[in-house]
Structure 1
């Protein structure tokens, strides 16, 4: 507990130090709150923007708050208790569908980096060594196997269910939302779920502690291309349209900082990235986080832009019955001008 409190204190100190305008002549400091789902390196771009002082450089007194899941992050943004979010593209789409127009500002990746299927070690030892064998298995009480994700409707759930559908396993399992990093790991360790799907850092934890094994990696380019067929803007930096209308200068400042951080991540080694974001990802070990940083960096989108072809590839995942998202055009959920202006200010 002492370690956790100390890390949180460091994060608070990083946010509190952003009150002064930068020497670059940025606009007067304005308070801005960013929400992210869970404390994993999947969201390292916004962690780097905070830790390296890029929000401060843009004249923002910034604070980052963990939402607890992608769904909870969306709810916080919808309620006006947060200004910006970094989460799956499906969330601003759902808000737009529900009469809360929302726009993506930048995309931070090109593949979903957190589609690692981790099976209980005891089940793997019993011979459940691939997905086909797993879905054919039944729990001792006769129920379908249980798969845990951070939240129902969040990034992992959206993409993993599509993978299961395309692989022919739709309806063969039961899905459970199991929360943040600590509770996700606990659910697999205590056998409350049979598979946990999340990021490489969690794979490192469960394998090093001996209670889980990597069974299937949906983020592996071979598996991804087989199912999806190319790059997709999975995780986006977004805000409500009302925020854009009310304060476009703040939106531009936030976008500038996030894009600059994405470029910095692209140019730096995993060890340097970990040094910048460590206060935000303290629930998992350094070794596990470095594994995830390497994988997330490999699928990063330092340009931040979203093109029509990539959006169309994602459409088959987003616009289906399971998600409840009604079809939208790219222009309805993407404010391209902010990324374009940020790129002009900070050319790669």
Structure 2
């Protein structure tokens, strides 16, 4: 996403806020539970603990009636949050930084982390016995959307291995997120950067081979985080605490159970996904530590995110950790679980 495009959606979102109700949508359901609407940036096995929190009744036990909505794309998710269409967003922390850079009066606060690494994998069209990053030089590389965390983590990794993504390879970025797997299958690119379960699906069909993980290479990041506007958090502290408690319960359950057990719990949210593929995807994410073990966004992760954004040329100035991160609720959730 270019800076002009990003300014466009942020300006539009802020305009909507001016005419939207100043009251957050959090209210009571018929059974007395507090209603909370989550807007997730996509429906993904990468977010398994979120679905575990719903399916295992952790939100309900905390007195919450949670509604999941999917708003594809970080721009759409953030617009929904800023306009009070949703209460809580599950999206990359970079979006809160983009909003802050535009001088928002009601900043978006990161309060509970769900994933702590990039979730994409490098898939080669042909088998590679001993992959070396230098072999990417000169190839057609099908990447992710400019300005989004997958692409920034991808470019960060390439540069880490001495590859200039603008000069050393043919970086293809003009394909919509949802169409990237199909583009690769149709013959575009010698390598592609893919999320699960697409990587496992393509591998199972024998049409590609996972050769590396961008999550492993780019390190710990506040990659996908639950966030809300500061005004919402100030008005609904108990709700935010209950929400965070439920997420931490789910994180602990995921850490203690196998990929097979997790898949069986979350598959109702992925009705068209083969169980074996779901197990493969979840197993990959568990093994590389993608699922955060607790909801805390720590300062080292935040600084790594700023480094990734700086390397990608997407950061005007470094945003202080304490400005957009509140660990109060995560810390209390951890204490409550002991």
Instruction: Flag the 1:120–1:19 CA change in 2: closer, same or farther, 3 A.
Output: farther
> Which residue of structure 2 aligns with residue 61 of structure 1?
65
Corresponding residue for 2:191? Answer: 195
Unaligned 5+ segments in structure 2 are: 1-27
Counterpart of 2:143 in structure 1 is: 148
Query: Structure 1 CA distance, aligned partners of 2:39 and 2:151?
Result: 19
Q: TM-score, normalised by structure 1?
A: 0.78
- By how many angstroms is 1:283 displaced? 4.4
Residue 333 (structure 1) aligns with: 324
- Asked if structure 1 preserves the Cα contact closer than 8 Å seen for 2:120 and 2:194, the reply is yes
Task: Assess, with a 3 A threshold, how the Cα gap between structure 1 residues 292 and 47 changes in structure 2: closer, same or farther.
Answer: same
How far does residue 194 in structure 1 lie from its aligned partner after superposition? 4.2
Is 1:136 matched up with 2:143? Answer: no
Q: CA, structure 1 residues 66+163, in 2 after alignment: closer, same or farther (shift >3 Å)? A: same
Name the SS of the counterpart of 2:95 in structure 1.
helix
1:52 to 53, 56, 59: 56
The farther-off stretch of 53-62 and 68-77 is: 68-77
The answer to whether the Cα contact below 8 Å between 1:39 and 1:283 also exists between their aligned partners in 2 is: no
Cα deviation, residue 187, structure 1: 1.9
The reply on whether 1:216 has 2:212 as its aligned counterpart is yes
Whole-angstrom distance in 2 between the partners of 1:173 and 1:249: 50
Question: Which of 101, 107, 110 is equivalent to 1:101?
Answer: 107
Partner of 2:16: none
Residues in 2 aligned to 1:339 and 1:31: alpha-carbon distance in whole angstroms: 20
State the Cα distance separating 1:46 from its structure 2 match. Answer: 1.1
Distance 2:152 2:79 in 1: 17
Residue 294 of structure 2 corresponds to residue 303 of structure 1: yes
Separation in structure 2 between the aligned mates of residue 284 and residue 152 of structure 1, nearest angstrom = 28
Structure 2 counterparts to residues 159-198 of structure 1, below 5 A: 159-170=153-164, 171=166, 172-176=169-173, 178-179=175-176, 183-198=179-194
Displacement of 1:320 in angstroms is 4.4
3-state SS of paired residue (2:285): helix
Residue number in structure 2 paired with 1:279:
268
Which 10-residue stretch deviates more, 327-336 or 246-255? 246-255
Q: CA deviation at 1:160?
A: 0.7
Contact 1:131 1:215 in 2 (8 A): no
Distance verdict in 2 for CA 1:216–1:302, change over 3 Å: closer
When residues 194 and 87 of structure 1 are mapped into structure 2, their CA distance, relative to the original with a 3 A threshold, is farther
CA distance in 1, matches of 2:50, 2:65: 14
**Runs of 5+ unmatched residues, structure 1:** 1-17, 22-27, 138-144
Q: Equivalents in 2 of 1:261, 1:97: separation in Å?
A: 33
Residues of 2 paired with 1:280 and 1:148: CA distance?
27
- TM-score (ref. length: structure 2): 0.80
Q: What is the alpha-carbon distance in structure 2 between the residues aligned to residue 73 and residue 218 of structure 1?
A: 24
Contact 1:19 1:56 in 2 (8 A): no
Structure 1 pair 173–36 and aligned structure 2 pair: CA distance change class (3 A): farther
Match of 1:118 in 2: 123
- 1:258–1:312 CA distance, 2 compared to 1 (3 A): same
In structure 2, do the counterparts of structure 1 residues 110 and 48 end up closer, same or farther at CA, with 3 Å as the change threshold? same
Counterpart for residue 77 of structure 1: 81
Q: How many Å apart are 1:146 and its aligned residue? A: 4.2
Say whether 1:43 aligns with 2:47. Answer: yes
SS at match of 1:136: coil
